Chains A and B, each alone.
Chain A
């Protein structure tokens, strides 16, 4: 022990004896270094505060936004608001035609986007050969996701409304929004399929399954949760989309309900509602918002709060689902 301490002490004592001025400068440098370290640590600290503030700003906005809508629209939160048609008098106006319209449009959107999106995702992941043709489809899907929503509105106006003669109907709106969220469904389908290990497919092939049996019984079933997540996020997006539906020229003052999809006599289903005029929640909100009268702004706020609650619930469910799936599935 003693020899060890001696050994370590010797060079230091030597240094103090023979190199006193040099050591002073080292000490001075040491102070400078310490000051520098301190400065950098301070920088670190300052940045972490700024970073937190920046992040908070983004998140607080959501809170302020929601709070603002709830405070402004507070007086309109009652069941009457949901059961009345729009009216010229702000206090009597309600959302009945808007939420029914939204629900029906979403139904069409779902029926368009989900089968097509899932099928396209399956094809691209499981079937598509690696060639220029598949690359072309891939690039297309990526680009479609970046096309502004209003351009889909122009497509719908030119193609669905006039060339195909579908008019400004629920069917047109549903088809438009269906195409709009198609890339979202395709991408989420592909991502969840990609997570399934190749061994699962090989095992199924080994016992003689055909490609479709593998895809349908295994690939599709195991990627179900991931696809559902994408579908919910896509539907939430469709619910809030305003621009494409305005562009197809949807009427903004609708004081009637589309014919009911379910009837009391056989065959219990009718399709008249598909060609009916309609309004949806965001359009109704835009309509009220663009009036100069402040009383209508209150209605707009209440509608906005409702849209936010529904979309947040949908997106929240989707994010939670994805989190659960990631946690639970271990291949």
Chain B
């Protein structure tokens, strides 16, 4: 017994026992592997930190030239013109308008689809439809851009002859259709999490499916449903290709869906397409715009996840 203790206490003698030596080797190898795996996990943190660092760094140089007050109060955004103005509101208004149109399409259709899927559809229908919704989520956004510009806009122009070729209405509607599956799927998850006993209680009182769905299941799952909406908003705000292709490039403060306007994301694409020299004010301006975008989406994501977490603890 004491010999073993001695052996452990004397690392120099480890070579004496091949078996023990093997174990030490094993332990070192285990440690190294754990360390490598941890580095991989830390890459996620590193990515976040780099995003924040890059956005802040370039934005700080930007705000050395442009005053923050102008940035938030000016109503013109013309960084590439002779008479440069840097009023982010002109881009934010475009982002908010297209997102609002998208949500007014996605929230009703998404919610009704979710209620139908969760409370009305048969098991078989659900098994078929859910994967189809996932497929729809996987369709690349550039394809939806094509759809907005060359399919929906011509149709809308038949109803509104004054509608310009690039407009927020068409881009917003298509973006809405794009996030329907996302909202439907998240809202349905929330409804399915409502305990069966609550539905049974409602049915036992003689309620119909519709009454149960509207008065029992929906209120019980409301935080999850609201979280789905908020995550949907975040998606719409960050969406790029549909608006870059179909909404136009004019940064103006306008909430009129029949007009053409630029969003934050569309502006970044527009600048990236032209070859701006590194370090110029135009180059820095896309990072400032990106920072605003990042803060907006982060705000919605955090609220959305907080609400989701809260409802999860409930049941």
Interface check B41, CB cutoff 8 A: yes
Question: Which of B48, B269, B275, B290 lies in contact with A246, CB distance below 8 A?
Answer: B269
Measured between beta carbons, the chain A residues less than 8 angstroms from B150 are 72, 289, 297, 301
Between A and B, 11 residue pairs with Cβ closer than 8 Å are A54-B113, A58-B177, A62-B135, A116-B43, A128-B41, A148-B297, A154-B54, A240-B139, A243-B268, A248-B272, A289-B245
Q: List the B side residues contacting A119 at CB < 8 Å.
A: 36-37, 40-41
* A57 touching B109, Cβ below 8 Å: yes
Q: Are B112 and A50 in contact (CB under 8 A)?
A: yes
Cβ contact within 8 Å between A240 and B146: no
CB-based contact A319/B142 at 8 Å: no
State whether A55 touches B113 (Cβ < 8 A): yes
| Among B131, B139, B141, B145, residue most surrounded by chain A Cβ atoms (within 10 Å) | B139
Q: How many A-B residue pairs have CB under 8 A?
A: 266
Q: In this complex, which of A147, A183, A241, A316 has the most chain B Cβ atoms within 10 angstroms of its Cβ? A: A147
B192 → chain A, closest Cβ, in Å? 15
Is A179 an interface residue, CB under 8 A from the partner? yes
User: What are the residues of chain A within 8 A of B29 when measuring CB–CB?
Assistant: 212
Interface residue ranges of A138-189 to B (CB < 8 Å):
140-144, 146-155, 157-159, 162, 179, 182-183, 186
Is A32 interfacial (CB 8 A cutoff)? no
Whether B149 is near chain A, meaning CB under 8 Å from some CB there, is yes
Q: Is there an interface contact between A137 and B37, defined as CB atoms closer than 8 Å?
A: no
Look across to chain B and name the residue whose beta carbon is closest to the beta carbon of A39.
B208
The distance from the CB of B226 to the nearest CB of chain A, in whole angstroms, is: 16
Q: Does B138 reach chain A (CB closer than 8 Å)? A: yes
Quick one: closest A residue to B270, CB to CB? A246
Chain A contacts of B301 at CB under 8 A?
A: 143, 146
Give the residues from 100 to 145 in chain A that come closer than 8 angstroms, CB to CB, to chain B. Answer: 115-117, 119-120, 122-124, 127-128, 136-137, 140-144
Band of interface residues on B: 35 or more
Q: Would you give the shortest CB distance from B21 to chain A, in whole angstroms? A: 15
Measured between beta carbons, the chain A residues less than 8 angstroms from B132 are: 59, 62
In the complex, whether A290 has a CB less than 8 A from a CB of chain B is yes
Within 8 Å by CB of A51, from B116, B144, B181, lies: B116
Is the Cβ of A120 less than 8 Å from the Cβ of B43? Answer: yes
* Contact B131 A323, beta carbon cutoff 8 Å: yes
Partner of A47, one of B50, B134, B210, B241: B210
Chain B nearest Cβ from A296, distance in angstroms: 11
A223 at the interface (CB under 8 A from B): no
- Docked-complex contact A148 and B238, CB < 8 angstroms: yes
Convert B167-198 into 0s and 1s, putting 1 for each residue whose CB lies closer than 8 angstroms to a CB of A: 00000000001001100100000000000000
| A157–B273 alpha-carbon span in the complex (Å) | 13
A242 at the interface (CB under 8 A from B): yes
- The residues of B that contact A123 with a CB separation of less than 8 Å are 34, 37-38, 40-41
Which of A4-12, A77-85, A231-239 forms part of the interface with chain B?
A231-239
Q: Which residues of A contact B (CB under 8 A)?
A: 40-41, 43-44, 47-48, 50-52, 54-55, 57-59, 61-62, 64-65, 68-69, 72, 115-117, 119-120, 122-124, 127-128, 136-137, 140-144, 146-155, 157-159, 162, 179, 182-183, 186, 210-212, 233, 236-237, 239-243, 246-249, 252, 282, 285-286, 289-290, 297, 300-301, 304, 307-308, 311-312, 314-316, 319, 323
Do the beta carbons of A151 and B48 come within 8 Å of each other?
no
In the complex, the chain A residue whose C-beta lies closest to that of B272 is: A247
Distance to closest chain A CB from B117 (angstroms): 7
Complex-state Cα separation, A165 to B116, whole angstroms: 52
- Known A119-B36, A148-B237, A150-B240; judge A304-B143 contact (CB<8 A): yes
In addition to A44-B210, A127-B38, A285-B143, 20 A-B residue pairs with Cβ atoms within 8 Å of each other are A40-B211, A41-B208, A55-B121, A55-B184, A57-B109, A58-B177, A69-B143, A115-B40, A144-B44, A146-B231, A147-B238, A148-B237, A149-B238, A155-B51, A158-B57, A243-B265, A285-B142, A286-B241, A290-B245, A300-B146
Nearest residue (CB) in B for A156 is: B54
- Contact assessment for A137 and B45 in the assembled complex, using a CB-CB cutoff below 8 Å: yes
User: Which positions in B face A, CB cutoff 8 Å?
Assistant: 26, 29-30, 33-34, 36-38, 40-45, 47-48, 50-51, 54-55, 57-58, 108-109, 112-113, 115-117, 120-121, 129, 131-136, 138-147, 149-151, 177, 180-181, 184, 208-211, 213, 231, 234, 237-241, 244-245, 265, 268-269, 272-273, 275, 278, 286-287, 290, 293-294, 297-298, 301-302, 305
User: Do residues A62 and B297 form an inter-chain contact, with CB atoms below 8 A?
Assistant: no
What residues on A are CB-neighbors of B234 within 8 Å?
A: 146
**B138 is contacted by which of A59, A136, A182, A315 (Cβ under 8 Å)?**
A315
